[in-house]
């Protein structure tokens, strides 16, 4: 399964979206507009390669550059022939890659559109729809905690008897007549 992220240059292809519906419409329209790899997209491809090279080996879990990004970003950016550069990430849970691409793209003045969630990330730090910001910031906090080795898991210090009694009361409460 692949996860797609769409990138475009709002300076080169105006206007900047103001709603997530408008972002979808712009992305769909620009997907059919012929274009070539220009400086900000080429810079994005190079930044993605640099990001990969700077990651600790244990976080990469043995994945090559193309396994991590779905393709070689420098090559795929240059092969892009439309106004929208579509990145097809190869994992089912690509949150870290999405966060990295969003950070890199918006820092270069590009718009990043997450077609799966309908979220649009603007160069000024804006997120469309605005009510998605809290969810996105929570995801970023989770990634930061994971990278730092922190976990929110609380060990279960109950004894075996406490666990069994809890399961028994739970079964009775649910009306389980087999006990």
Q: pLDDT tens digit string along 20-74?
A: 999 999 999 999 999 987 899 999 999 999 999 999 888 888 899 999 999 999 9
| pLDDT tens string 79-134 | 999 999 999 998 777 889 999 999 999 999 999 999 888 899 999 999 999 999 99
Q: Which tokens sit at 26? A: 């712009």
Backbone phi and psi for residue 89, each to the nearest 5 degrees, phi listed first: -80, 140
Total residues belonging to the chain:
179
Q: Tell me if the pTM is above 0.85.
A: no
Sign (positive or negative) of CA dihedral 112, 144, 3, 48: positive
Tell me which residue of 104, 21, 120 sits closest to 112, measured CA to CA: 120
Which residues, 6+ apart, have CB-to-CB distance to 122 below 8 Å?
A: 10, 16, 17, 106, 111, 128
């Amino acid at each position: 399964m692949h996860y797609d992220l769409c990138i475009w240059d709002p300076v080169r292809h105006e206007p900047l979206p103001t709603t997530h519906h408008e972002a979808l419409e712009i992305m769909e329209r620009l997907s059919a507009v012929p274009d070539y790899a220009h400086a900000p997209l080429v810079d994005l491809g190079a930044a993605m390669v640099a990001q990969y090279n700077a990651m600790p080996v244990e976080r990469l879990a043995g994945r090559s550059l193309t396994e991590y990004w779905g393709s070689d970003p420098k090559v795929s950016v240059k092969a892009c022939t439309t106004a929208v550069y579509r990145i097809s990430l190869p994992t089912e849970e690509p949150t870290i890659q999405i966060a990295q691409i969003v950070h890199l793209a918006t820092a270069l003045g590009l718009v990043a559109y997450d077609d799966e969630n309908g979220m649009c990330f603007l160069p000024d730090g804006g997120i469309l729809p605005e009510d998605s910001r809290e969810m996105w910031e929570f995801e970023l906090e989770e990634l930061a905690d994971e990278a730092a080795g922190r976990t929110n898991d609380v060990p279960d210090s109950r004894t075996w008897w406490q666990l069994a009694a809890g399961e028994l009361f739970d079964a009775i409460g649910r009306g389980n007549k087999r006990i």
